[in-house]
Amino acid sequence: MPEKRIALLTSAWTSGSRVLGLADRFLVGYPWAGTWHRPDVRIVAAYARDKPDKELAAERAKEFGFTLFPSVAEALHIGGAKLAVDGVLLLTLDADGAREELVKACVAVFDQAGRGVPVFVGGPLGQTFEQAAFVVKAARRLKFPLLCGSPLPLAVRLPAVDVPLAAAVEEALVVSPGGWDGQGYHALEAALCMVERRRGGETGIKSVQSLGGDGVWRAGEDARWSKLLLRAALSRSDSPQGTTIADGRTQDLVSNGEVAKLAANARACLVEHTDGTRTSVMLLEGAIKDFTFAARVKGGVIATQFFVAPPPNSTETVGLCRKVEDLFVSGKAAYPVERTLLATGIIEAARKSWVSGFARVETPHLAIRYQPPRDSQFCRE
């Protein structure tokens, strides 16, 4: 099979960005199953919208022998007159607003060609559900395989556990070391990839409610989220803050009450699924620095850490990189785009709830059903 030719669309290819570290993996390879794997795909064309300081696109193009084009269309045409690449890698930083712009330009090229090619979009599909839905609809209309999302669902887990397929999940909780502007999205998507495995699959989201300040902890007292699950999730953390930083001691942050003090600006988001399952997203900046999860599954509690490796290796992107490569090689997306669509919609509703004074927001537009992949997708190789 000839090597697949890929176009990279980006805002700015900058050093140290975890997102663009993924692009580098397609140039220099990545570790897989104990060997250094050279992908069966090649970046042949790229478009970089911005030209900030320390921009690497030109340098990479020169070193790795691909061409930088001045527009998305030219990159996808590889300088010719028609769609010429076998896949599109769309990687932008979260906050630079380039994602929607590049997606639209890419879809415009596909519309003109009357066909699409496999696309990977790193991160959420947009700032709003509408923006995200635009991409998903385009993929259906033009029948191109679409994969998107966070590296976290594919990352190594400590321990290496998953929700058993079709298990009765009563309640789930995920802890994020930061808010919606950064890490919260990754935590949410990681939680969704766990709960979607429950009996019946994902049924969509009925309502979303944000909590802030004391309201977060009052809701815990009222059992609107589970303290037991927060304790279980935090039991998987390698990075409790506070006295652990001061003198090294281990801490049960829930029982000693420190979690509320350390996460002074705690936020939470209570997600009610259509089938009644509850997922709580705890945004606890200041209390911990890693991503942990727990769920009450019939017969017990499952808890794990989604492992984010320290930079510069940032190996948590390896599992995702493999799925993106598989997308380009096989034309099949390894997991459903609906997960990211829901995540985008939940975050939008959470913001709405926040600005409306923590009102419960009904989300009929998120009544999106999907089935999870049968096999666990996280990195175990």
Partner 1 sequence: MQLGRRDVVVGAGVAPLLWSRGGRAAKRPKIAAVCTAYFKYSHAQHIVGRFLDGYGWNGGYHHPEVDLVSLYVEQVGADDVSRERLARFPAVRSCQTINEALNLGSGKLAVDGVLLIGEHGKYPRNDRDQTMYPRYEHFMETVKVFKQSRRVVPVFLDKHLSWSWDKAKQMYDVSRSMRIPFQAGSSLPATSRIPSVEMLPGAKLREALCVGYGGVDSYDFHALETNQCMVERRKGGEPGVNWVEAYRGDKFWKAWEDGVWPSQLVYACLARSHTVTPARPGMGHMMPSPADVRRLCKDPYAYRYQHADGLVSSVLMLTGLVQDFNFAARIEGRKEPFSVQMYLPMPPARASLASSFSPLANNIEKMFLTGKPTDPIERTLLTTGLLAAGVESLHQGDKRITTPHLAIKYAAPRESTFWRT
Where do contacts with partner 1 occur on this chain (CB under 8 A)?
15-16, 21, 24-25, 28-36, 56, 59, 156, 158-160, 231-232, 234-241, 244-252, 254-255, 289-290, 294, 300-303, 307, 309-315, 379-381
Taking alpha carbons only, the member of 348, 231, 353, 208 closest to residue 284 is 231
Q: Which is nearer to partner 1, 280 or 315 (CB)?
A: 315
| Residue 122 C-beta: closest distance to partner 1, Å | 15
Q: Which is nearer to partner 1, 138 or 229 (CB)?
A: 229
Give me Rg for the CA atoms of the chain.
Answer: 21
List, in sequence order, every beta strand (DSSP E) within the chain: 4-10, 30-32, 35-37, 41-48, 67-68, 87-91, 119-122, 146-149, 157-158, 169-176, 205-212, 267-273, 278-283, 291-297, 300-306, 360-362
| Residue 280 C-beta: closest distance to partner 1, Å | 16
Residue 242 phi, psi (nearest 5): 75, -130
Q: Which is nearer to partner 1, 48 or 105 (CB)?
A: 48
| Residue 256 C-beta: closest distance to partner 1, Å | 9
The rounded distance, in Å, linking the Cα atoms of 300 and 329 is 39
Q: Which is nearer to partner 1, 128 or 244 (CB)?
A: 244
| Residue 242 C-beta: closest distance to partner 1, Å | 9
Judge whether 152 and 162 are in contact, CB under 8 Å: no
Distances (CA, A) of 314 to 10, 70, 189: 19, 30, 18
| Residue 145 C-beta: closest distance to partner 1, Å | 27
Q: Which is nearer to partner 1, 53 or 355 (CB)?
A: 53
Q: Which is nearer to partner 1, 206 or 296 (CB)?
A: 296
- Where residue 301 falls (left for φ over 0; alpha for ψ -120 to 50; beta otherwise) is beta
| Residue 18 C-beta: closest distance to partner 1, Å | 8
